[in-house]
Amino acid sequence: MAEGPNETEYPTTTKRMRMGTDPNPRITEFLTKWDDFQLFQLTKFYWDRLEQAIEEGVDGVSSLLTYEKIFNGKEHRKVSELTDKGNRAESSNLLLSLVMEKGSRARRVMWESFVDSASWGPKVG
- C-alpha neighbours within 13 Å on the C-beta side of residue 38: 8
CA distance 27 to 17: 11
User: Are residues 56 and 114 in contact, defined by beta-carbon separation less than 8 angstroms?
Assistant: no
- The whole-angstrom separation of Cα 68 and Cα 62 is 10
Q: What is the pLDDT of residues 10-57, one digit of tens each?
A: 444 544 444 445 556 777 787 888 899 999 999 999 999 999 999 989
Q: Between 73-84 and 88-102, two packed helices, what is the crossing angle to 10 degrees? A: 160
The pTM is what?
0.73
Q: Is 117 a residue whose pLDDT tops 90?
A: no
The answer to which of 22-26, 32-36, 85-89, 109-113 has the lowest mean pLDDT is 22-26
* Under 8 Å between Cβ of 36 and 108: yes
**pLDDT tens digits for 56-80?**
899 999 999 999 999 999 999 999 9
Question: 32: part of which helix (H) or strand (E)?
Answer: helix 25-33
